[in-house]
Amino acid sequence: MSVHSFGAAIDINTKFADYWIWSGGKPGKVPNYANKFPMAIIDVFERHGFIWGGRWYHYDTMHFEYRPELIAIAKAGGVSACP
């Protein structure tokens, strides 16, 4: 089951989204993308414990997932989960 099915993830505005497979990606060969979402929106989600799929290697820019435990683990390790 997806994280969406547990109510812990949402996708926003697919009109502006980029997804690695939609961009012609293949396993091991993921094309670059140009972000079309305002960083202010991304910053708000990240400030409230969400991770953004646009930061993933297999990117999914419309995807926001509530994962405060990953952010806490990164912080404890002295790195940023949301650079």
DSSP 6-70: GTSEEE--GGG--BTTTTT-BTTB-------S-HHHHHHHHHTTEEEGGGSSS-BTTEEEE-HHH
What pLDDT sits at residue 28? Answer: 83
The answer to the question of residue 51 being in a domain is: yes
What pLDDT sits at residue 64? Answer: 96
The answer to the question of residue 20 being in a domain is: yes
The answer to the question of residue 30 being in a domain is: yes
The answer to the question of residue 64 being in a domain is: yes
Q: For the chain, what is the domain count?
A: 1
What pLDDT sits at residue 81? Answer: 60
- pTM for this one? 0.81
What pLDDT sits at residue 72? Answer: 85
The answer to the question of residue 2 being in a domain is: no
Which residue positions in the chain have pLDDT lower than 70?
80-83
What pLDDT sits at residue 82? Answer: 61
